[in-house]
Amino acid sequence: MASLDRNNKLLLDMVRQPGNNLCADCGAPEPDWASYTLGIFVCLTCSGLHRNLPAVSKVKSIRLDFWEDSLVEFMQERGNSAAKAIFEKCVPGFFYRPQQKDCVVLKDQWIRAKYERREFTGENYLQQVYSTDVFESTLWKKGKDNKQFLKRIFLLNRKDFTLRYFIKEDSKVPKAVISMKDLNAVFQPEKIGHAHGLQISYLQDERTRNLFVYHENGQVIVSMFNAIRSTRLAYLQKKHLTLQDNDLILQITGNCLKEGYMEKTGPTREPFKKRWFTLCSMSRKLLYFKTPLDATELGAVFIGSENHNYSVSESSNKSTRGGRWHRGITLQTPSRQFVFMCEQDQEQKEWLEAFRKVISQPMTPEDYANEANLRRGK
C-alpha cells in the first residue's frame, strides 16, 4: 500500500532536481503540482489550465494529494526534461514560449499546442500553418475614434512582408498596408478589456499607430500572434543576413518595459497634463497618449544611452505648474530636460528603474538612425 508521507517526500525530492524545479510550461520556480499522465511538474496556474484537458492531462498536488506507488514511479521515469524532449522536440524559433508573467491565453494555447494538438512532436505538420505565404484571420478591431469593435479581415503576406486589413470580405483595397519593418505585437488583455486582447503597433508617417484586436477563440488570436512572429522573423532574416536566428528572435516582438499614467509639461511654462505613457526597450522610445486606447501617439521621446548624455533622476516633489501629483522624475536628453510627475512612490520607483534599464543599454546603429529620425520629425 502506498504511503502518503513517503511518496510525497519522494515527489518533493524530485521537484528539487534540475529541470523539475521550474514549471514545465511557464518556468515559474518551485512548482508544487504535477501531471501524473504526462509526467511533468507544473505551477498552480498551469495546473488549472491542465484541468481543462482531462483527456490528456490529470493533475495532483505533490504536497497534499495521495499518490499511488505506480504514479510516483512514472514521475521518476519521466520528469520535465524527458517530457520536453518529446513535446517540445520541434518548436519553431519564432513560436512564443510564455513565461510566468504572461497572460493566461498565451499559457493556455502553449499547453494545448504541446499536449493536446502535439504540434511540436514531429509527428504532424501543424506548425507549418504559421509560416504559409499568406495567413488570413478575421478579428474584432477597435474603431479609431470610438470604443466599438468591428469585424475586420487581416492578411499576412510573407512574400512582401506586410500585414493588410480589410473592412469587408469582398474589399479589394485594404484599409491599411503595414510593413513588418517596425511592427510589434503584444497581448494587452487588461488594457483592451478582453482576455484575448492583442495590441499591434507600427510606424505610420513617423508616428506610432496602435491597433487593438481580439478574437473569442484563444487558438485563433494566438495563432495570429505567432504567424506575425514568423513573418517578422523572415523579414529580419532577409534584412540581417549575417546574424544568427538566436540573435534575431530577441528582436521579433517585445513587451513594453513600463506603462501607466504620469503628468507631463511642455518645454515652455505649460501646466502639467495627465498622459498615458509607454516605454519600449526595443525602440528606445517613450510614447505618450491621452488615453491607453488611443490609436496614435501624441508624441515620443527617444531614450539614448548614458554615454550619449542621457540620464534620469528623482526630482523635487514640488510642482510649480499646477500638477496634482508630486513624485517627480527628471529625464535629461542632449537637447532638453523633461519633467514627469507620478502619483505614488511605487510608480516613481518603477519608472526610474525602467528608464535606467534603457539608458544602461548600448545603442545600435539602428538606434542612432531612429534617434536622428525622431529629431528631424520635430
pLDDT digits (tens, 9 = 90+) for 93-142: 999 999 999 999 999 999 999 999 999 998 877 668 898 999 999 999 99
For the beta carbon of residue 223, count every other beta carbon within 10 angstroms.
Answer: 18
SS (H, E, C) 88-140: CCCCCCCCCCCCCCCCHHHHHHHHHHHHHCCCCCCCCCHHHHHHCCEEEEEEE
87, 86, 82, 79: which is closest to 13 by C-alpha? 79
Which of 75-79, 154-158, 313-317 is the least confident region? 313-317
E-strand ranges in the chain read 33-35, 40-42, 59-61, 134-142, 149-157, 162-166, 176-179, 184-187, 198-204, 207-214, 258-264, 273-280, 285-289, 299-302, 311-315, 327-332, 337-342
- For residue 214, give the DSSP letter: E
Rounded distance, CA 227 to CA 122, Å?
19
Is residue 319 predicted with pLDDT exceeding 60? no
Report the pLDDT value the prediction gives residue 324, as an integer from 0 to 100: 83
Instruction: Give the residue among 263, 264, 265 at the shortest CA–CA distance from 343.
Output: 263
Query: Residue 84 CB: number of other CB atoms within 10 A?
Result: 16
Mean pLDDT of 191-207: 95
Contact 93, 233 (CB under 8 A): yes
Task: Return the ∠ at Cα 280 (arms to 192 and 328), rounded to 5°.
Answer: 95
Question: What average pLDDT does this structure show over 301-310?
Answer: 94
Q: What is the pLDDT of residue 371?
A: 83
SS3 77: helix
User: Please, which pLDDT band fits residue 1 given cuts at 50, 70 and 90?
Assistant: very low
With a CB cutoff of 8 Å and minimum separation 6, the contacts of 162 are 156, 177, 178, 179, 180
| pLDDT tens for each residue of 142-163 | 998 777 999 999 999 999 999 9
Look up residue 361 and give its three cell numbers: 543599454
The residue-averaged pLDDT of 167-175 equals 91
Residue 107's CB is within 10 A of a number of other CB atoms, namely 22
Q: How confident is the model at residue 376, as a pLDDT?
A: 66
